[in-house]
Amino acid sequence: MPRKVKCPTCRKETAWENNPYRPFCSDRCRLIDLGGWAQERYRIAGEEADVRSDDEEDDQTRKRQ
């Protein structure tokens, strides 16, 4: 019996095997999820990262020299 899973976006049952969008049911649901990550609706628990651009890091290095 083929394995069925629920799409994380729309909750529709969809086949796991031979599904190019798995775990999603369609490209639309996959893109909705991707958009959620891009808009920072989802987060992974952990410590806050110090995010600096390469230019900012170069400026900090020059100031120390």
What single letter denotes the amino acid at residue 56?
A: E
Tens digit of pLDDT for each residue in 7-25?
A: 999 999 999 999 999 999 9
Give me the number of domains the chain comprises.
1
What single letter denotes the amino acid at residue 28?
A: R
Q: What is the domain-level CATH number for residue 33?
A: 3.30.50.10
What sign results for the dihedral spanned by CA atoms 19, 25, 28, 32?
Answer: negative
Would you say 7 and 14 are in contact if contact means Cβ atoms under 8 Å apart? yes
Please indicate, yes or no, if residue 24 is contained in any of the structural domains.
Answer: yes
Please indicate, yes or no, if residue 57 is contained in any of the structural domains.
Answer: no
Tens digit of pLDDT for each residue in 37-48?
A: 999 999 888 888
Please indicate, yes or no, if residue 16 is contained in any of the structural domains.
Answer: yes
Q: What average pLDDT does the structure give for the chain?
A: 87
Please indicate, yes or no, if residue 50 is contained in any of the structural domains.
Answer: no
* Structural domain boundaries, residue 28: 1-42
